[in-house]
Amino acid sequence: MLEVRNISKSFGGLKAVSDASLDVPEGSIVALLGPNGAGKTTCFTMIAGFTKPDTGTVTFRGEDITGLAPHQICARGMIRTFQIVQPFAGLTVEENIAVGAYLHHHDRADATALARKVGKQLGMGGMLDRPAASLTIAGRKRLELARALATGAKLLLLDEVMAGLIPSEVTEIVGIIRQIRDEGHTILLIEHVMQAVMSLAETAYVLNYGEMIAHAPPKELVQDPAVIEAYLGHGAATRLQEGGHA
């Protein structure tokens, strides 16, 4: 569904992403991992059209979408969520979700009906009339997901939807993401919560200093010396193998 080939992005002298490629098959959940500053969000910004790659191509459902604007990409069925969730605080939860629904439903009643349906699917039925500003972090994360789904997108790029959540909230959102996939969506997610990655993703890609250093099922990746070293530092894999501390 999504083919990313050799994308790169530099900011001044810093090569944030270097020649990175990845594939997301339709119906799958794929994770993009890497230590802080590895270039994960920059990859998302290039894929979703917020930044133009210096090199490389992004192909979505067979169409080259490299360099298109975010709204053009969204209209084709791909949307990203943001790490820092910023709902329209003065609007209700339902009105916030309807903002997404207006992309394909120009009639207010239709957009509102879709917003209510999506809100209920995500367990927000009891809070649709509340102001978005009153939501907890977990509620805001759900709202971000609901707003994205209401656009009718088929591929969701989720940027750290579990950051800042307590373990029981992580379990709930893992269930919701699985449900979204089972309802016919495809998901690429950036996530630091490994428990969630392990239980959700079939494949994960690992970025380090902007370079894609590995891709495999998450259970294999956590034993990959290159991945261990990226997270824990040079020599960590050998020290772990010798039974010492990383």
State the residues that interact with ligand ATP by CB under 6 A: 11, 14, 16, 34, 36-42
- The nearer residue to ligand ATP, 36 or 168, going by C-beta atoms, is 36
Q: How far is the CB of 11 from ligand ATP (least distance, A)?
A: 3
Q: How far is the CB of 94 from ligand ATP (least distance, A)?
A: 30
Q: How far is the CB of 179 from ligand ATP (least distance, A)?
A: 26
Q: Report the alpha-carbon distance of residue 176 to residue 145 in Å, rounded.
A: 9
Q: How far is the CB of 38 from ligand ATP (least distance, A)?
A: 4
Q: Where are the alpha helices (DSSP H) in 162-210?
A: 167-182, 194-200
Q: How far is the CB of 223 from ligand ATP (least distance, A)?
A: 22
| C-alpha atoms less than 13 angstroms from C-alpha of 128 in its C-beta half-sphere | 18
Q: Report the alpha-carbon distance of residue 143 to residue 129 in Å, rounded.
A: 13
Location of structure tokens 């998450």 = 218
Rg, Å, the chain Cα set: 19
Q: Report the alpha-carbon distance of residue 100 to residue 112 in Å, rounded.
A: 10
- The nearer residue to ligand ATP, 34 or 49, going by C-beta atoms, is 34
Q: Kindly tell me the burial class for residue 4, based on how many C-beta atoms sit within 10 Å of its own C-beta (0-12, 13-18, 19 or more).
A: buried
- The nearer residue to ligand ATP, 178 or 192, going by C-beta atoms, is 192
- The nearer residue to ligand ATP, 14 or 69, going by C-beta atoms, is 14
- The nearer residue to ligand ATP, 11 or 25, going by C-beta atoms, is 11
